[in-house]
Structure formats: C-alpha cells, structure tokens
Chains A and B, each alone.
Chain A
C-alpha cells in the first residue's frame, strides 16, 4: 500500500469512527481533514443512481479524497417494493466496490439528514442526482437542493442531471408497493366509526351540543389513523365522518342536506381538523416505529462494534461478525476469506434465491464475502441496511487488524535491522582481534621460523589454533542465529535421544575440556525429545564452553538430564565462582558481556547465551540460571518430551 493510500484509508477510518461515535477506530490525525476532500453521494433506489455514484467516485479519485455513500431511509421507503430494495442493494454494493464507505440514516426529511450528516462528518462536497430532487407530490415544497443549500451553506453541492425519465419508475413504485387496502384495516376503521357513531347517538339523546359530537368523530379518525397501516384510512374516515355527521345529526336528519347556513362551514372545518389530526397521528406513529427501529439498529451495531473490538486477530473478527449476522437475520451465515476461495468469482456468480453474497469491502480492498442462506425468505430493506453496516464494521475491523499487523511486522523488522546492525558492528570489531593474532603469528613463523626455539613455536601454533577454533565457534553461533532468523519458529524438529545429543555436543567442546572434569548423569537413557538437534547441540556446547571459560582449571562440570511434568530438564552445573546476582537478569540479553573480569583474556561477544535462550524458547522450553551449592552456577533448560508409539 502506498503512503498516500494508507493515509486516505486511515482518514476514512477516522471519519467513519467519528460518525457513529464509535471509540477505538480512531486513527490518523485529523488535522488534515479540512484540506482533504470528503465527498458524499446520496444512495437511492432509483435506477439512475448508479451513474451518480460513478460520477462521485470519479470525483473522489480526481480529488484524491474519501467517498461516503449515504442512504436516508424515509418512512415511504419501507412500503416500497422488493424491486426497489434490490436496486438499492445493487447501488450500495456498487458504491462499496468503488471504494465508498456506506452509511445509513433514517429520517423523514432527506435534505436535513444529508446536511446533518455532512456537518458532523466534515463532508466538503455533496453529489446528488436530479431524481432525488424531484418532489412531485408536494409541488409547493422547496426542491431538495434548495433545502440542502439552506441547511448546509458551506458545502459544495453537485447536481448530476438525470437522463432517465422518472415518471414510469414512479408508477412502478406505486404498483409494486404494499396493498393499500386490507381487510383487517377496513374492519378496524369501520369499528372505530361505528363506536364513534354510537357514542354520538348517546350524546345526542342526552342533548349535548354538536361540538361534542364533532369532537367524538375527530377522536374516531385519530384512532383509525393510529391503528391502521395506511394513511388512506384516516382520510376516508374523515370524509365518512363528515357524511355520517351530516346524515344523522343535522337537520333534516337522515338526509344529506343541511338547512343551517353554518353547517357547510362546520363540515369543512371538521373535515380539515380530522384530516390533519389523522395525518399527524399517522406520521407520529411512523416516527415512533422508525425510532424504535433505529434504536434497535444502534444497539445491534454497538454490540457488533464491541464484540469486534474484543476480537483479537482476523479469525476472531470473522467469528464475531458471523455471530452477529446470524443473530440478526436468524439464518445461516458463512464468511469466505480470500485465501480459501476466489471471492470475485463468488460475487460475480449472481445471488441465487438460496444465498445472498455480500462483499466485506473497504477502500477497494476486498477482505471477504459473507454468504447468507436466504432460502426463499429474502432479507428486507431494514435488515439489509443493518447487514451492510455490520459488514462495513467488519471490513473496518479487518482493515485495522491488518494495519496493526503490518505495523507490528514493521516494528519487528526494524528491531531485526537493529540487531543485525549491532551484530555486524560487534563482529567486525571482535573478529579483528583473533584474525590479527592468527595472521601475525603465522607471518612470524613464516619469516622468522628458524630463529624461534621449540617452546616459542609451540606457543605460536597453539595461539593460532585456539584463535581459529574461537572463530569456528563464533561462526557456528552466527549460523544458528541466521537459522533462527531465517526459519523463524519453523524449526526442523525430530525426535532425538537426549543422550545422543549430549554426546554429540561433547565432541565439539573446547580443547580445554581436558583441564576440567565433565560428567553426564541421565536417569532415562531412552528420553526422546522433539527438537532441532543441531540447535540444541549448539545450546549445550555454549553452556559447557561457558562453564569451561569462566571457571578455574580442574573444576567439575556436570550435565544432568531428568524428566519433570512432560518436560526434559537439562542442567549444566559447575563449581566455579558463580554469577553475581546483579548480572543474572541481563545474562541472556544479546551482546551483554557483563563486567566480568575475564580470567585469561578470553573474549565474549554476548552472543552465546542470548542464542541459547532464543533456541530454547523457540522449542517451547525455558532457560534459567541459578546458584549451585556451595558455589558455582547452574544453567537449566527445559524441552517438551516426545511420547513415542514404538513401531515393532
């Protein structure tokens, strides 16, 4: 990922993080937000919306800005047909493919919601299509763009002309909508009218005034509007109330005539009052319904967000997402990851009736595909909205996880780089000394060999040999280091007999071993340990060589092996001066050489013990240092035991 892209994605993540007040997603600095373009495109179910989304995406690319696609769910949309929902879903998917972050808000007033969202999220440019603007049902109302400008005066608004005629689309929308009349609603309306009429008749008998009766009818209309699903019942009930009132309670009664001059006025006022209350009640009901849904939605998203934040690693994120999705939809959910199958193919293989495939995508990177088992029971618009949001959250979490992992990798890399640099510096410094001694001694022997007496010569030979052996040992350790680095924790493990490994290690011990007594104690000669033999041999060589190096001549070195809790415990103990407590914590650190008074000028690079530690750790064991009784040091390391089934 190039620097610019990373920044953009971080920015986007930051923006989304703020939009829902979701903590934890916050990353990158927002100082640059104002200078960076943030483009908002309005999603709709209109067929022409795709063109608008593409235009916005091109714009975002040209400005190198971030793109957010917003869908405002109006109460009317809930009653729209499945075709509209499908189109909306297709448009949402298109927006995601083009790198947009999709967001979903609910509200009655589209312009206000868009403006509100833009202000909260620092949107600099809004792209709308003309079809969004059209508001034919309320010609008196100002156009969406005008209202948008009024609500968000600081935002640039781009209007994309719509070549498709909208009229036939509107017709289809009506036809495909929910049925206007239902038996249940009709019965409910009639019952409330009958009740109102009965109460009115009662009032009439008691001689109460017309005003009371009119109020009862308005109440009836109000109840009708509340209990029925469609506004048309409220309207019909209002009209019917006026006629019934006219028929039953105005003189002459039982006719649709009215003698009093005041009555037409009364009818008109009554009609208007009941219409208005009915509409208001219906709208309130819708609002309540919507806010309930939005609360539910917020709760689910919050839950998802929380479980995603607790999820450590990609697997956990996928599990949390799948859990939430199946909880939400009550259906089987499968999530495919890029390494398991061809995601593009999965997406392009159109959704069947059985399965709905949704991409988990952010900023043009496809992280996975969620396949939902729909089985003839399609996901409705509301569920779909939440679904998209959850998938968006999931993509964001995956993105964050990926970024975190990359950062971690980079940190490890930097640390390795640092180690390498240290290593090179130390080596180039420490190699010079033995090489000087070897080449100097050899050159002396070549030129003045005849003049040296036999003991001097022998001393020179010994020095050359010792220094070259030191170099050989160093190279072995370095090779082990590269082996550890190159293969990481992927060791070449085999079951090995601890006995054989120790014997092999002792064959490579320092020439000075003859000056010390080395003993091996092993309780179980057939102790098998799963290990990379070459590396463990190196550990034992280093420990024993250390013991030889730092103890006086004639000291006793004991290598013992025992079994404890399914671990092989190997101890290398000496009876030398021991290690001061102050040095113990750092003794396994790389390049730690201590303030050790080196007995006879023997060098140390602080490589051996650090290597031992990393080797043992990579094997799943531990290495420790302790004091021996009465004096001396004990190095103990553990390795997991291999239980073996003998093949006879």
Chain B
C-alpha cells in the first residue's frame, strides 16, 4: 500500500475521474476538491503529501490558491493547466508551484510527475541535516568548498555555470522559471539575460551530460524554464 496522500483539486468531473482512477490503480491514497475554498479546507485538515491543482477553478484563481497554501505549507504542488498560455504556468510556478502538467496529458506523464515529486519529498526529509554536500547520481557538489564532481572527476565550470548548478540542485525536482533563474543569477531579467541563460545552460548541460553514461540531469521546459532531475 502506497502511503502517499494526493489531494486532487479539479472541477471537471471526467478529468477528476481519470485522475482518481489512475491513482487508485497505482495504490495512491487520494482526496478530492471541486473548488478553491474546499481545497484549502482539505489541505488544512488532512495535510496531503502532494497537491494536484487545476488552474481553472470556478470560485477563485488557481494562483491565489497556491499563494494561500504557500503561506503556511511547503507541500509540493503540481499545477494542471489547459494549454492556452505559458504565462499561466509561469505565474503559478513563480507563486510557488513545483511542477506543471498540460492538458491533455497522458496517464504515464501524470504518474511520472508524481514519482518525481515523491522522490524529491523523500530526499528533502533525508538531507535536512546534511546540506553542505549535494549528491545526485554521479553528480556531487560541495557547497562549502565551491566544487562540483561528476563521477569522481572535478567539473571545470565557469562562475555562472557553477551558480546555475547550485541553484538547480538546491531546487531539485522543481521547475524554475527563466525569470526566477535570471533574477537569482544576474539580479535582473533583461532580454539579453534570458539569451545568455540559454547559452550557459546549454554549456553546463553539455559538461554534465557528456559523460559515458550520458544521463540527463537538466530538463528544459521550452518557454517556461529548467529543472534538475533526480538521477538514480
């Protein structure tokens, strides 16, 4: 029995059914809410492990729900949005959501996102006391020493690349928006910064993923941002 408790906030019954059926068949425990008010009530009373939130709710804006929940809880939130505009997702991510799914999504995709969040959740609990050293697959970062190693060999990174790597690693599993990253690295988010970000991210990724194993550490979300993936 999977002990993971998922709160599904979705006003459309067929989609809610699809999600709950999927969760049931994969042994997740779940709660449902049809509107924002009910959802916030559920979060306060049941404290779920992960929240699936549809942005288009009848009573309030999805971003508002995220802000309310974030005011007291760090529960991972996966946003579900009908693919209309990227800005919706970016707003949600900047408001504190961890990940997003775009309708129409496949069942496999939903389960994969849940697993990512689950692992992230587990690591967060585990690594509370040991945060000077970061480890993910072959990647190892010593924040105190300011060094990074891939499979034992030291990585030669430019200062910006190192800053990017630290930012991504400290938010592993979470999608970081372009605006968020440029503001953290350069303190601004000019158009040119975004272009620079693309280039640095590409070179950093090349250094990380060029090894013989060729594992993917950084995932690109076109028009949204980047995320570091958990590598086994």
What is the distance, in angstroms, from B18's C-beta to the closest C-beta of chain A? 13
As a 0/1 sequence over residues 516 to 558 of chain A, the CB contacts with chain B under 8 angstroms (1 = contact) are: 0000000001101000011001000000000000000000000
Contact of B222 with A644 in the complex, beta carbons under 8 Å: no
Interface residues of B in 164-206 (CB under 8 A from A): 178, 186, 191-196, 198-200, 202-203, 206
Q: Which of A452-503 contact B (CB under 8 A)?
A: 468, 472, 476, 479, 492, 494-497, 499-501, 503
Chain B residues with CB under 8 A of A472:
104
Complex Cα spacing A577 to B206, Å: 37
Partner of A494, one of B104, B194, B202: B194
For B21, list chain A residues within 8 Å (CB).
Answer: none
CB of B194 to closest CB in A, whole Å: 6
Least Cβ–Cβ distance between A648 and chain B, in angstroms: 6
| A648 with B223: CB separation less than 8 A | no
Residues B191-232 near A (CB distance < 8 A): 191-196, 198-200, 202-203, 206, 220, 222-223
> By the criterion CB–CB under 8 Å, are B199 and A644 in contact?
yes
* The residue from A497, A645, A647, A648 contacting B202, defined by CB atoms under 8 A apart: A497
A495-B198 contact in complex given A526-B203, A647-B193, C-beta closer than 8 Å: yes
Contact check, A644 vs B104: say whether CB atoms are below 8 A apart: no
Q: How far is the CA of A55 from the CA of B95 in the complex (A)?
A: 66
- Cβ B220 vs Cβ A503 within 8 A: yes
B146 at the interface (CB under 8 A from A): no
With an 8 A cutoff between CB atoms, is B83 at the interface? Answer: yes
Q: Is the CB of A500 within 8 A of B191?
A: no
Q: Note all chain A residues with C-beta closer than 8 A to B191.
A: 494-495
Q: Which residues of A contact B104 (CB under 8 A)?
A: 468, 472
Residue A36 is within 8 A (CB to CB) of chain B in the complex: no
A533 and B203 within 8 A (CB): no
Tell which of B203, B206, B220 touches A504, judged by Cβ atoms closer than 8 Å: B220
**A residues 315-334 with Cβ under 8 Å of B?**
none
Contact A534 B193 (CB under 8 A): no
Q: C-beta contact mask, A316-356 vs B, less than 8 Å → 1, else 0?
A: 00000000000000000000000000000000000000000
Interface residue from A494, A500, A526, A648 paired with B220 (Cβ < 8 Å): A500
Q: A residues within 8 A CB of B220?
A: 500, 503-504
Q: How close is A524's CB to chain B, nearest CB, in angstroms?
A: 11
Most chain B CB neighbours (cut-off 10 Å) among A492, A495, A525, A537: A495
A525, A534, A644: which contacts B192 (Cβ < 8 A)?
A644
Interface contact B192-A645, CB-CB below 8 Å: yes
Bound CA span A495–B220, Å: 14
Q: Is the CB of B186 within 8 A of A525?
A: no
How many whole Å from B205's CB to the nearest CB in chain A? 9
Q: Give the CA-CA distance A648 to B203 in the complex, in Å.
A: 13
Interface status of B84 (Cβ within 8 A of chain A):
yes
**Distance A504 CA – B178 CA, assembled complex (angstroms):** 17
Contact assessment for B186 and A647 in the assembled complex, using a CB-CB cutoff below 8 Å: yes
Evaluate contact between A648 and B194: CB separation under 8 angstroms: no
Q: Enumerate chain A residues within 8 angstroms of B44, measured Cβ to Cβ.
A: none
> Once the chains bind, are A646 and B196 in contact (CB under 8 Å)?
yes
Answer whether residue B86 sits at the interface, using C-beta atoms and an 8 A cutoff.
yes
A642 at the interface (CB under 8 A from B): yes
B94-130 contacts to A, CB under 8 A, are 104
Q: How far is the CA of A492 from the CA of B220 in the complex (A)?
A: 18
Chain B 142-162 per-residue mask, 1 if CB under 8 angstroms from chain A, else 0 = 000000000000000011100
Cβ distance A478 to chain B, nearest Cβ, rounded Å: 12
Residues of A within 8 A of B202 (CB): 497, 499-500, 525-526
> What's the minimum C-beta distance from B50 to chain A, rounded to whole angstroms?
24
Smallest beta-carbon distance B33→chain A, Å: 27
Most-contacted residue by chain B among A479, A492, A497, A642 (CB, 10 A):
A497
How many chain A residues sit at the interface, stated as a range, is: 20 to 34
- A533 and B222 form a contact (CB under 8 A): yes
Q: How far is the CA of A293 from the CA of B198 in the complex (A)?
A: 68
A648: nearest residue on chain B (CB-CB)?
B160
CA distance A476 to B103 in the complex (A): 11
Q: Cα distance A644–B104 when bound, in Å?
A: 35
Contacts of B199 in A (CB 8 A): 497, 526, 528, 644, 646
Across the two chains, which residue of chain A brings its CB closest to B195? A495
CA of A457 to CA of B202, assembled, Å: 45
Q: Which residues of A contact B158 (CB under 8 A)?
A: 648
Closest to B186 in A: A647
Contact of A497 with B160 in the complex, beta carbons under 8 Å: no
Q: Which residues of B contact A644 (CB under 8 A)?
A: 192, 195-196, 199
- A544 CB, min distance to chain B CBs, angstroms: 16
Q: Determine how close the nearest CB of chain A comes to the CB of B172; give it in whole angstroms.
A: 20
**Contact B223 A534, beta carbon cutoff 8 Å:** yes
Report A467 CB to chain B, min CB distance, Å: 13
Give every chain B residue within 8 A of A528 (Cβ-Cβ): 195, 198-199
Q: Once the chains bind, are B198 and A504 in contact (CB under 8 Å)? A: no
Cβ distance A49 to chain B, nearest Cβ, rounded Å: 60
Per-residue CB proximity of B4-48 to A under 8 Å, as 1/0? 000000000000000000000000000000000000000000000
Report the bound CA distance from A647 to B191 in whole Å. 11
For A643, the closest partner residue in chain B by CB is B195
Q: Which of A479, A642, A648 contacts B84 (CB 8 A)?
A: A479
Cβ contacts under 8 Å, A645 to chain B: 192, 196
The answer to whether A500 and B196 have CB atoms under 8 Å apart is no
Distance in Å from the Cβ of B158 to the closest Cβ of chain A? 7
Cβ contacts under 8 Å, A526 to chain B: 199, 202-203
Measured CA separation A621–B214 after assembly (Å): 35
Contacts of B200 in A (CB 8 A): 646
**Contacting pair B198 A496 (CB below 8 A):** yes
CA distance A492 to B86 in the complex (A): 10
Residues on B with beta carbons closer than 8 Å to the beta carbon of A497: 198-199, 202
B195 touches A501 (CB 8 A): no
Which residues does chain B contribute within 8 Å of A476, judged by CB atoms? Answer: 83
Contacts of B160 in A (CB 8 A): 647-648
CA distance A494 to B104 in the complex (A): 25
Report the separation of the CA atoms of residues A479 and B86 in the bound assembly, to the nearest whole angstrom.
Answer: 13
Q: Name the A residues within 8 Å of B159 (CB-CB).
A: 648
Q: Which of A468, A492, A504, A647 contacts B196 (CB 8 A)?
A: A647
Q: How far is the CB of B188 from chain A (nearest CB, A)?
A: 9
Collect the chain A residues with CB atoms within 8 Å of residue B193's CB. Answer: 647
Complex Cα gap A644–B84 (Å): 29
Contact in complex: B186, A500 (CB < 8 Å):
no
Contact in complex: A647, B192 (CB < 8 Å):
yes
Closest CB-CB distance, B185 to chain A, in whole Å?
9
Q: Which B residues are in CB contact (< 8 Å) with A494?
A: 178, 191, 194-195, 223
Q: Which of A468, A479, A501, A644 gathers the greatest number of chain B CB atoms within 10 Å? A: A644
List the B side residues contacting A479 at CB < 8 Å: 83-84
From A472, which residue of chain B is reached at the shortest CB distance?
B104
Which A residues are in CB contact (< 8 Å) with B178? 494
* Complex contacts, A468 vs chain B, CB 8 Å: 104
Bound CA–CA A501/B199 (angstroms): 13
Docked pose: A87 CA to B206 CA in angstroms: 80
Chain B residue numbers with a CB within 8 Å of A499 are 202
A351 to B159, CA, bound (A): 64
> In the bound complex, how far is the Cα of B202 from the Cα of A528, in angstroms?
11
Nearest 10 interchain pairs by C-beta:
A495-B195, A644-B195, A504-B222, A647-B196, A533-B223, A533-B222, A500-B220, A497-B198, A646-B196, A472-B104
**23 pairs, CB–CB < 8 Å, chain A vs chain B:** A476-B83, A479-B83, A479-B84, A492-B86, A494-B191, A497-B199, A497-B202, A499-B202, A500-B220, A501-B222, A504-B220, A504-B222, A525-B202, A526-B203, A528-B198, A533-B223, A534-B86, A537-B222, A644-B195, A644-B199, A647-B160, A647-B186, A648-B159
Q: A479-B83, A500-B198, A525-B206 are in contact. List 4 more A-B contacts (CB 8 A).
A: A528-B195, A537-B222, A645-B196, A646-B200
